[in-house]
Amino acid sequence: EAQVTQNPRYLITVTGKKLTVTCSQNMNHEYMSWYRQDPGLGLRQIYYSMNVEVTDKGDVPEGYKVSRKEKRNFPLILESPSPNQTSLYFCASSFSLAGGPWGANVLTFGAGSRLTVL
Interface ranges with other proteins (CB under 8 A): 4, 33, 35, 40-43, 45, 48, 58-59, 88, 90, 92, 97-98, 102, 104-112, 114
Q: Radius of gyration (Cα) for the chain, nearest Å?
A: 14
CB 37 within 8 A of CB 43: yes
Residues 37 and 44: their CA atoms lie apart, in Å, by 6
| Residue placing its CB nearer to other proteins in the complex, 69 or 101 | 101
Closer by beta carbon to other proteins, 1 or else 42: 42
Smaller CB distance to other proteins: residue 79 or 86? Answer: 86
